[in-house]
Amino acid sequence: MARVRSWVSGAMAAAVGLSLAGCSSTGGKRAEDRAARAAAVGKAAVNTPKWKFAMVTHSGDGDTFWDIVQKGSQQAAAKDNITFLYSHSEEGQQQAQLVQTAIDQKVDGLIVTLAKPDSMKAVVAKAEKAGIPVITVNSGSEVSKKFGALTHIGQDETIAGEAVGNELNKRGRKRALCVLHEQGNVGHEQRCAGARKTFHGKLQNIYVDGTNMPDVQSSIEAKLQADQSIDSVVTLGAPFADAAVQAKDTAGSKAEIDTFDLNAKVADALQKGTLGFAVDQQPYLQGYEAVDLLWLYKYNRNVLGGGLPVLTGPQVITKQDASALADYTKRGTR
Amino acid sequence: MSATLEAPDERLLRPSLLRRLLGRPELGSVVGAVAVFVFFSVVAESFLRPSSLSTVLYAASTLGIMAVPVALLMIGGEFDLSAGVMVTSSALVSSMFSYQMTANVWVGVVVSLLVTLALGVFNGFMLTRTKLPSFIITLGTFLMLTGLNLGFTKLISGTVSTKSIGDMEGFPSARKVFASQLTIGDVNLKVTLLWWAALIAVATWVLLRTRAGNWIFAVGGNDDAARAVGVPVVKTRIGLYMGVAFAAWISGQHLLFSYDAVQSGEGVGNELTYIIAAVIGGCLITGGYGSAIGSAIGAFIFGMTNKGIVYAEWNPDWFKFFLGAMLLLAALLNAWVRKRAEASR
């Protein structure tokens, strides 16, 4: 045991020594601190009672997108004097159980996603029976009203796809590739289908394994080699855009890479011109608006949307817009 | 003159050479690989282009780097279900350490090596101490690492992916080592191929030419018997897990330096792919039998199938089905050839 301990302390000493000896004068945490943005820490702007709102999503672990949604919710919650609870599960049944626990906690408002509407139907009805107002976000615009939700906030995936098709036309593209990183995701299929609808050229689908980045890259590479007439590649998530860029370089293709969603790297690549455009559905807005609209409903019985979904996207972002957004993507709110 | 004298000798040698060849665990997978290769050469016209083959090789190498130590571990009779996320952990550690300490990225790379090896020691130590099956131990590690990857990343960087370290000192040289490529004409050869080849060579040498290699076979065959003849069973097992950890470190650094930022949720599910590659390559799931070269051929079959389907431009809706069917066929062919080989012996 003593030997193990001396080993561990030796390793730690070596690590500390190394880090002192090998400082980087560029980038890193110090550069971030030097930039010293005033962190957006909100204070309650209202004196309504401290209501408790819960958000239950279909997000998987460690999803960049949902992280931004949460940031929006937290910001609005701080401002509106709300206690905000967040939980998530990819499994429809598990998600429904999480909603049930929120009902058991007697929350004052509920925000849910309806990516798997069938498993959520019963529990949403239960919430309404318990007198809890429900707002749906992101997915489920078709069923939101039917399930009795106040309103739906999100992007219509088909409309977002159509925006991509139009943008591709504008750029004179003829043959495009739609890269789906989750096989069987309804929203993903809708995006590609929407793009296919408005795009005058030919659009093909390709499925890649989203949890394995080298596989994403080599699959796109293989596709570009197999079909050299492809002149644009559309990835459905920001992290995959970079892999597509590298695949294109390796395959020696001249295709333009475009993507759904935004992050710091995408904003950077848009400025550099390695990416053509990004379609943002503004996840921050989905989280922020959901909390804020629930607050408005509790405080003033306001409902937004007039029975139609409140759309947060698609916003097509190109080189010109990207520089203005870079700072916001770096702090993780765009 | 001497050639004519040697001719009869060679003829005499041939049967023993053939027999030796038939006894090799990777024979079946070689036949499988040839079959898959011929199949896609016929079905997909772009498959045989040099640039396409380099893509297939890249796909095989990223998987093969992990399949080598996983095969050794399986020969030693154990599994490692944490191998997939360990790759991500390794990348996260070096990225976040460099970033938070504003250190030269090489410092992070070294720290990550120490941390990853420690994870391997943890797996091996827990296994040999508790005598629980490796399935349970490494499943525990798998879940813990998945949580730690996410928890720490969010705690430290505030988001679920790491910050870019692309502008930090040491990055260009580290990228050369872990993620560079050599372009000859329109063919890109990735540095992962070198790492892969080196790992295969070292692993083959260890297995066939050293005492440790005998220990691995002995431990996987029957560990009580091995212990009785003086094989250091505990040390061998811990060493095997450290081997997996070392390869996870290489893969993790490749992941980090290819894309300069890492997503914390990646890697889940890849551990199965490594095991599949080892099994297609002739490793027995029960241990005691297999080879490092076999795992490489297994990885190559997987890479060929995976990318060949794309080159063949089949309807992507059926992609996973094709993949499964091809792998099953390759494995069946593998098993059939081995059985024939053993029968003719």
The predicted-structure confidence for B279-336, as pLDDT tens digits, reads as follows 888 888 888 888 999 999 999 999 998 889 889 888 777 778 887 887 788 778 877 8
Q: What is chain A's Cα-based Rg? A: 22
Cβ contact, residue pair A251, B320, below 8 Å: no
Q: How confident is the model at residue B9 (pLDDT cuts 50, 70, 90)?
A: low
d(CA A141, CA A162): 17
Choose the closest CB to A27 out of B168, B263, B307: B168
The letter for the amino acid at A171 is R
pLDDT value of position B51: 87
Touching check for A212 and chain B: CB below 8 Å?
yes
The token pair that represents A271 in the structure block = 């400025």
A14 vs B contacts (CB less than 8 Å): 114
d(CA A311, CA B89): 37
User: What percent of chain B lies above the pLDDT cut of 70?
Assistant: 92
* Pairing verdict, β A232-235 and A152-154: unpaired
3-class DSSP state of A181: coil
Supply the DSSP symbol for B161. Answer: B
Cβ contact, residue pair B319, A207, below 8 Å: yes
Q: Among candidates B112, B97, B196, B213, which has minimal Cα distance to B156?
A: B97
| pLDDT over 90 (residue B269) | no
Distance from CA of B48 to the nearest CA of A (A): 10
| pLDDT over 50 (residue A83) | yes
Cβ contact, residue pair B316, A31, below 8 Å: no
pLDDT per residue as tens digits for the range A125-181: 999 999 999 999 998 888 899 999 999 999 888 999 999 999 999 999 999 999 998
What's the count of helices (H) and strands (E) in chain B, helices before strands? 14, 2
d(CA B110, CA B113): 5
pLDDT value of position A21: 59
Beta bridge partners of A207: A180
Choose the closest CB to A252 out of B51, B255, B269: B51
Which H or E run contains B330? helix B319-344
pLDDT value of position A33: 65
B103 vs A contacts (CB less than 8 Å): 18-19, 22-24, 28
A19 vs B contacts (CB less than 8 Å): 97, 101, 103, 107, 111
| pLDDT over 70 (residue B15) | no
**Which ipTM was obtained for this model?**
0.75
Q: How confident is the model at residue A39 (pLDDT cuts 50, 70, 90)?
A: very low
For chains A and B, CB pairs below 8 A equal 181
Chain B 16-75, residues with CB within 8 Å of chain A CB atoms? 44, 46, 49, 51-52, 55-56, 58-59, 62
3-class DSSP state of A278: strand
B181 vs A contacts (CB less than 8 Å): 250
Backbone angles phi and psi of A57, in degrees to 5: -115, 170
Q: What is the average pLDDT across B200-206?
A: 96
pLDDT value of position A117: 85
A226 vs B contacts (CB less than 8 Å): 44, 46, 52, 310-313
d(CA A304, CA A70): 21
Choose the closest CB to A218 out of B98, B170, B307: B307
Q: What is the average pLDDT across B29-46?
A: 90
Choose the closest CB to A24 out of B52, B103, B181: B103
Q: How confident is the model at residue B11 (pLDDT cuts 50, 70, 90)?
A: low
Choose the closest CB to B59 out of A207, A215, A252: A215
* Pairing verdict, β A256-260 and A134-137: unpaired
Q: What is chain B's Cα-based Rg? A: 21
Please, is A40 exposed, middle or buried when counting C-beta atoms within 10 Å of its C-beta (0-12, 13-18, 19+)? exposed
d(CA B136, CA B18): 41
Touching check for B230 and chain A: CB below 8 Å?
no
| pLDDT over 60 (residue A20) | no
Instruction: Among A5, A12, A19, A75, pick the best mutation site for testing chain B contact (most B Cβ within 10 A).
Output: A19
Please, is A107 exposed, middle or buried when counting C-beta atoms within 10 Å of its C-beta (0-12, 13-18, 19+)? buried
Cβ contact, residue pair A219, B101, below 8 Å: no
CB B162 within 8 A of CB A27: no
Q: Among candidates A267, A201, A208, A194, which has minimal Cα distance to A230?
A: A201
Q: Which chain A residue has its CA at the smallest distance from B108's CA? A: A19
d(CA B78, CA A298): 58
pLDDT value of position A180: 92
| pLDDT over 60 (residue A274) | yes
Choose the closest CB to B99 out of A28, A213, A250: A28
d(CA B129, CA B117): 18
Distance from CA of B103 to the nearest CA of A (A): 4
B266 vs A contacts (CB less than 8 Å): 211-213
Please, is B35 exposed, middle or buried when counting C-beta atoms within 10 Å of its C-beta (0-12, 13-18, 19+)? middle
Under 8 Å CB-to-CB from A17, ≥6 apart: which residues? none
B164 vs A contacts (CB less than 8 Å): 27, 264-265
Choose the closest CB to A222 out of B159, B263, B310: B310
Touching check for A222 and chain B: CB below 8 Å?
yes
Touching check for B114 and chain A: CB below 8 Å?
yes
pLDDT per residue as tens digits for the range B214-257: 999 999 988 889 999 999 999 999 999 999 999 999 999 999 99
User: What percent of chain B lies above the pLDDT cut of 90?
Assistant: 58
Q: Among candidates B62, B198, B86, B209, which has minimal Cα distance to B142?
A: B86
pLDDT value of position A92: 84
pLDDT per residue as tens digits for the range B41-58: 999 888 998 888 999 999
Under 8 Å CB-to-CB from B207, ≥6 apart: which residues? B72, B75, B213, B216, B217, B291, B292
Q: Among candidates A21, A31, A84, which has minimal Cα distance to A55?
A: A84
Which H or E run contains A206? strand A202-207
What number of other Cβ atoms are within 10 A of residue A158's Cβ?
Answer: 17
What number of other Cβ atoms are within 10 A of residue B15's Cβ?
Answer: 9
pLDDT value of position A36: 44
Which H or E run contains B316? none
CB A68 within 8 A of CB A303: no
| pLDDT over 70 (residue B87) | yes
Chain A 116-175, residues with CB within 8 Å of chain B CB atoms? none
B163 vs A contacts (CB less than 8 Å): 32, 264
Q: Among candidates A186, A188, A212, A192, which has minimal Cα distance to A92?
A: A186
Touching check for A18 and chain B: CB below 8 Å?
yes
Instruction: Among A33, A88, A250, pick the best mutation site for testing chain B contact (most B Cβ within 10 A).
Output: A250
Q: Which chain A residue has its CA at the smallest distance from B269's CA? A: A211
d(CA B299, CA B283): 12
What number of other Cβ atoms are within 10 A of residue A49's Cβ?
Answer: 11
Choose the closest CB to A22 out of B99, B104, B317: B104
| pLDDT over 70 (residue B67) | yes
Chain A 230-259, residues with CB within 8 Å of chain B CB atoms? 239, 242-243, 246, 250-252
Cβ contact, residue pair A250, B153, below 8 Å: no
d(CA A328, CA A267): 10
Cβ contact, residue pair B159, A67, below 8 Å: yes
Please, is A190 exposed, middle or buried when counting C-beta atoms within 10 Å of its C-beta (0-12, 13-18, 19+)? middle
Q: Which chain B residue has its CA at the smallest distance from A330's CA? A: B163
pLDDT value of position A40: 46
Touching check for A219 and chain B: CB below 8 Å?
yes
